[in-house]
Structure 1
Amino acid sequence: MAGFSLPCFAAETAGTAAHQTEGDPATDMARAIPARHETSGSVTVGGKAISYRAVAGTLIVHPQGWDDSDGVIAARTGVKPDVKPDAKADDSNPDATAAIFYVAYFKKDAKAEDRPITFVYNGGPGSATVWLHMGAFGPRRIVTMNDTHDPAAPYKLVNNDSSLLDVSDLVFIDAPGTGFGRVTGKDRKKAFWGVDADGRAFANFITQFLAVYGRYNSPKFLFGESYGTMRSAVVVNDLQNDDNIDFNGVILLSQILSYDNDVDEPRMNPGNDQPYVLALPTYAATAWYHHRLPAHTGALRPLLNEVEKFASTDYLLALQQGSDLSVDRRRVIAEKLHDYTGLPVDYILRANLRIDGGEFEKTLQGDSDMTTGRLDTRFSGPTLDPMSESSEYDPQSSALSSAYVSAFNDYSRKVLGFGQGQTYVPGINIEWETKHAVPGMEHSDGAPNVMPDLAYAMKTNPTLKVMLNAGFYDLATPYYEGIYEMKHVPIPEKLRSNIEFAQYESGHMVYANEAALKQLHDNVAGFIRRSSGGVEAGSH
């Protein structure tokens, strides 16, 4: 789910403070934040009880270019840097520092080398990982409504039969500045909040985690959702080619690797018609779900096959003609779009055959003053302004956010024993640096595209497996967009078999649909088993 984030500095264990350096803002912050707290628990998956130990804590991360040659102080929970009190943002040793919050679950009585480990994070950019933690793969799951707004508290946490602890240890990572983590330093925006800076921060965290917990020889996986998929492409490339740590697999959920394919505001990039093409199958799925397609009353998948073909042929060719498209042909395409979207023909013609995501969400059910969801188009909510051109909020986000955030705040303090006296930050609004250093090239100033990063990682490690998961009802990152991107990742044909695809009758947060969550678990668990280098995940 979209969200926001910040990191932080830590003491050694709950209630104790590590060595402090007077006048150091990083260690000043550490006084208030325990480095970690351990608890034990059990989860039942597939009828089998799994005992685990849980660790909630922080690890300290510095930006690229930070010089640790003066030495570091090792702590049981991580690495405590010897931050120079006189470090300045504009000298050769950046003063920004982050303490990244995480929750890790380790199966008890399992050998590290026999047990895969999966690093899990949401996106945003600027989101904590409360969504995947409490909705998808943690040992406890929040119960929410399927496609309507949840009632206010009390909320219900249940045993998560779809937790991935049956096949892998799990590390849920909150982005710098979110969760119980914090950042400090005058240059913190430049240091942590951008495509490349964020990637290095996560890569730094992961290398530290592998060292602290002795997991270098475990099968290793990344699981990213939404912007987390873009992060994964950067991180896996950084880890493999800068840090010499090969990964077994990268699992992507609700993918966007190129922002040029974003359907939210493609009018800001005229001449690029690809977003309209890639969003059309999701428009059709949404209209079908809300019974706006009287001519299509059968199953969803055959309809989508038909729409995908039309989108990538007749519709694409029509858009590419631009002003050369004849009036008659324009109307033929508009009528076909009406058949697949339920939108009025006159509206489609006035939009020049190009409807962006916000316009579709506002218009599809506009006759009943209802706005359709963005993250999950199965959701609807009252329209805020009937005269607006586009949707002004996301009914799905409004429907679920309170349940997730409230449940985690309660769970963290009462079960994990972490967070007393602190504020949990589920997300932050930040200016994100989109410049990106494509492997082998200089920084690009346009919309970020990390398809080359994933390709580079797959080519330099030909054993790396990739799995793409997507929901049919996702307009934040339409499923057909992910398919298109993955089929255009520039890799040799012989590596194409390393990529798997799976779609679900759900939205951006596939796991918000309980049936889809079960399918997601089974597919991801199978992928981890197949990609673990002979280790029988979950058997130890």
Structure 2
Amino acid sequence: MLKLLPAVALIAAAVATTPAFADKPPAKDAKPDAAAQQQPAPPPDKTTTGNVTIRGQHIKYKAVAGTIVLDAKDRDDQGGRGDDKDAPSAHMFYVAYFKDSKDDDKRPVTFIYNGGPGSSSLWLHMGALSPRRVETADDSHTHAAPYDLVNNDDSILDATDLVFIDAPGTGFSRIYGKDKEKAYYGVDQDAQAFGTFITKFLSKYGRWNSPKYLFGESYGTTRSALLANVLETEKNIDLNGVILLSQILNFDTSIDGPEGNPGIDLPYELALPTYAATAWYHHKLAQQSADLPSLLKEVEQFAMSDYAEALSEGAMIAPERKHAIAEKMHDYTGLPVAYLEKADLRVSGGMFEQTLLGASGDVTGRFDTRFSGPSMDPLAKETEYDPQSAAISSAYVSAFNDYLRKDLEYGQDMTYKPTIDIWRTWDFQHKPPGAPIALPQAANVLPDLAQAMIYNPNLKVMLNTGYYDLATPFYAAIYELHHLPMPAALQKNISYAFYQSGHMVYAHPESRHQLHDNVTAFIDSTSKQK
């Protein structure tokens, strides 16, 4: 999951590929203990064994829960401080699943992470890809504990070995040394840390000759765009594929708080198809189409033509034209015409979530608009919580903490941090390829992914996106990929998969099945390139 913050202050920023309950940052001592800043010895790795049945195939595997250390010498090429004991360092926690195989070193390996920034990888771990997953309700609030941890028939372990990585500071990962936040909490710093982790992992397990994949969700897709470029152009590692789930690459497209960036109307246009899908799901359309994809094509056409033209007129739009556009928006979104006119035809994600269900007193979800829940304030302009996060977070966090200690036999005396609250200090400025400095603007990593695809013209990219996602709307993801600054011929290397689910497409059983089939087919087709 992901929590994207409003686009004010140029960040249009994301808070978590997780629910909105991020931990508060620890209090800072007036005089930090120098010894406490130094890097302790990490806990020893723990290896266990298990088995999983995937689509009738019985698979034995080895699971390793462990830590890879990023220390001062790993940062020498990034302005590191050599042997300085107080130099920034990190312990990056991971869980790797290796299928029993005769050709271990040739088997695909996929590096998996959620986003945030500030999220651990437990969401993809417990919900989608690992051998075990937690059972949650499809589109309603999941019951309290005890939770059911079950065999994951949709794990992708049948196609690839799996490496779940917790970002620095999250999960069991920790950072140390002076200026540690500055060293790891930023768009570019984060990508460098993951790049170093991957090279060390490949050496530790002898996987340099394996087909390699990145799988990121939400801000994890931002990370993947950067990381692909770092690996390709700096580390000399060609990737076979980049798998994007619930994508955001240009934060100027975010529908979270676009009113903070007046004059940029693109987010409203790109979110309109998601509004239509949501209204369709909740039966709020006067003319309820039987075919959602056909409806969405119609809305996309309107969004980028008549609607975009009307917004471009700003205050100069004629009253009768404004009314006509509001009526058409009503047909597609179910929102009242008078409300749309009062909103100046510009409805943020939070406004839509608060308003759609109207008289019922409920609000829709943000991560997954199929979910709904009671409004905390019926008179509020925007929603004050996310019903999907409230519905499933306890199940994921509780089940994973139990699984870590009982099944993986790791971390008994440690605290696992599902999320950390770092958005206030996260450095969103990014230095794109060719730029002399980091740019003071909303993060946009389209140039990074484009450069990686140019550098390696065989690199394949796969987008997976849900129709009911208002954190990272599906049409915004399409728009971003269609605007990669690279030769048009490379567009053929991008494939698309759409799901009738939300941000965490795997929260919907049918979509989780489809995700498995689509991703494993992608890996099978790209791991055998010649």
**TM-score, shorter chain, exceeding 0.5:** yes
Q: Is this contact kept in 1: 2:250–2:442, CA < 8 A?
A: yes
Is 1:480 equivalent to 2:472 in the alignment? no
What letter is aligned with 1:214? G
Is 1:48 equivalent to 2:73 in the alignment? no
Is 1:514 equivalent to 2:523 in the alignment? no
- RMSD over aligned CA atoms reads 1.9
Give the secondary-structure state (helix, strand or coil) at the position aligned to 1:343: coil
Give the secondary-structure state (helix, strand or coil) at the position aligned to 1:254: strand
Aligned partner of 2:518 in structure 1 is: 523
Find the partner of 1:501 among 493, 496, 502: 496
Change (3 A) 1:347 1:463: same
Find the partner of 1:224 among 216, 226, 233: 216
What letter is aligned with 1:507? G
Any stretches of 5+ residues in structure 1 without a counterpart? 7-21, 70-80, 88-94, 536-540
Give the secondary-structure state (helix, strand or coil) at the position aligned to 2:66: strand
Q: Is this contact kept in 2: 1:362–1:390, CA < 8 A?
A: yes
Segment drifting more, 124-133 vs 110-119? 110-119
Give the secondary-structure state (helix, strand or coil) at the position aligned to 1:225: strand
Give the secondary-structure state (helix, strand or coil) at the position aligned to 2:76: coil
Find the partner of 1:405 among 385, 397, 416: 397
> Cα offset for 1:25?
3.8
Give the secondary-structure state (helix, strand or coil) at the position aligned to 2:171: coil
What letter is aligned with 1:163? S
Aligned partner of 1:73 in structure 2 is: none
Segment drifting more, 217-226 vs 173-182? 173-182
Alignment of structure 1 residues 154-165 onto 2, 5 Å: 154-165=146-157
Find the partner of 1:370 among 362, 368, 371: 362
Find the partner of 1:207 among 199, 209, 219: 199
Give the secondary-structure state (helix, strand or coil) at the position aligned to 2:203: helix
Give the distance between the partners of 2:183 and 2:295, measured in 1 at CA: 46
Aligned partner of 1:491 in structure 2 is: 486
Aligned partner of 1:533 in structure 2 is: 528
Is 1:333 equivalent to 2:325 in the alignment? yes
Is 1:435 equivalent to 2:429 in the alignment? yes
Q: Is this contact kept in 2: 1:39–1:53, CA < 8 A?
A: yes
What letter is aligned with 1:521? H
Change (3 A) 1:24 1:397: closer
Give the secondary-structure state (helix, strand or coil) at the position aligned to 1:222: strand
Aligned partner of 1:379 in structure 2 is: 371
> Cα offset for 1:35?
3.2
Find the partner of 1:99 among 85, 91, 94: 91
Give the distance between the partners of 1:385 and 1:52, measured in 2 at CA: 49
> Cα offset for 1:110?
3.4
Aligned partner of 1:11 in structure 2 is: none
Aligned partner of 1:9 in structure 2 is: none
Give the distance between the partners of 1:63 and 1:515, measured in 2 at CA: 46
Q: Is this contact kept in 2: 1:64–1:197, CA < 8 A?
A: no
Aligned partner of 1:282 in structure 2 is: 274
> Cα offset for 1:34?
1.3
Is 1:444 equivalent to 2:436 in the alignment? no
What letter is aligned with 2:511? A
Give the secondary-structure state (helix, strand or coil) at the position aligned to 2:65: strand
> Cα offset for 1:64?
9.2
> Cα offset for 1:23?
4.4
Aligned partner of 2:31 in structure 1 is: none
> Cα offset for 1:68?
9.3
Give the distance between the partners of 2:146 and 2:416, measured in 1 at CA: 19
Is 1:469 equivalent to 2:464 in the alignment? yes
Q: Is this contact kept in 2: 1:334–1:348, CA < 8 A?
A: yes
Is 1:176 equivalent to 2:164 in the alignment? no
Give the distance between the partners of 1:231 and 1:432, measured in 2 at CA: 14
Q: Is this contact kept in 2: 1:45–1:162, CA < 8 A?
A: yes
> Cα offset for 1:107?
0.7
Aligned partner of 1:271 in structure 2 is: 263
> Cα offset for 1:63?
7.2
Give the secondary-structure state (helix, strand or coil) at the position aligned to 1:145: coil
Alignment of structure 1 residues 288-327 onto 2, 5 Å: 288-327=280-319
Q: Is this contact kept in 1: 2:120–2:419, CA < 8 A?
A: yes
Give the distance between the partners of 2:353 and 2:36, measured in 1 at CA: 49
Give the distance between the partners of 2:283 and 2:366, measured in 1 at CA: 18
What letter is aligned with 1:233? A
Give the distance between the partners of 1:68 and 1:362, measured in 2 at CA: 48
Aligned partner of 1:61 in structure 2 is: 70
Find the partner of 1:257 among 226, 234, 249: 249
Give the alignment's TM-score, normalised by structure 1. Answer: 0.90
Give the secondary-structure state (helix, strand or coil) at the position aligned to 1:245: coil
Is 1:136 equivalent to 2:131 in the alignment? no
Give the distance between the partners of 1:62 and 1:400, measured in 2 at CA: 36
Aligned partner of 2:27 in structure 1 is: none
Q: Is this contact kept in 2: 1:118–1:220, CA < 8 A?
A: yes
User: How far does the alpha carbon of each residue in 1:388-439 deviate from its partner, in whole angstroms, 9 at most, with x for none?
Assistant: 1100010001111000000000000000010101111000111210110101
What letter is aligned with 2:196? N
Give the distance between the partners of 1:151 and 1:55, measured in 2 at CA: 31
Q: Is this contact kept in 2: 1:35–1:59, CA < 8 A?
A: no
Q: Is this contact kept in 2: 1:192–1:201, CA < 8 A?
A: yes
Give the distance between the partners of 1:125 and 1:411, measured in 2 at CA: 24
Give the distance between the partners of 1:258 and 1:82, measured in 2 at CA: 35
Give the alignment's TM-score, normalised by structure 2. Answer: 0.91
What letter is aligned with 2:160? S
Give the distance between the partners of 1:113 and 1:215, measured in 2 at CA: 5
Q: Percent identity?
A: 56
Q: Is this contact kept in 2: 1:112–1:214, CA < 8 A?
A: no
Give the distance between the partners of 1:348 and 1:393, measured in 2 at CA: 23
> Cα offset for 1:278?
0.4
Change (3 A) 1:164 1:326: same
> Cα offset for 1:534?
4.3
Give the distance between the partners of 2:331 and 2:182, measured in 1 at CA: 47
User: How far does the alpha carbon of each residue in 1:327-359 deviate from its partner, in whole angstroms, 9 at most, with x for none?
Assistant: 111101000001111111000000000000000
> Cα offset for 1:366?
2.9
User: How far does the alpha carbon of each residue in 1:41-72 deviate from its partner, in whole angstroms, 9 at most, with x for none?
Assistant: 11111101111100001111247983399xxx
Find the partner of 1:346 among 333, 338, 353: 338
Change (3 A) 1:359 1:414: same
Q: Is this contact kept in 1: 2:154–2:512, CA < 8 A?
A: yes
Give the distance between the partners of 1:296 and 1:210, measured in 2 at CA: 52
Give the secondary-structure state (helix, strand or coil) at the position aligned to 1:437: coil
Aligned partner of 2:47 in structure 1 is: 38
Give the secondary-structure state (helix, strand or coil) at the position aligned to 1:52: strand
Segment drifting more, 55-64 vs 276-285? 55-64
Give the aligned length. Answer: 498
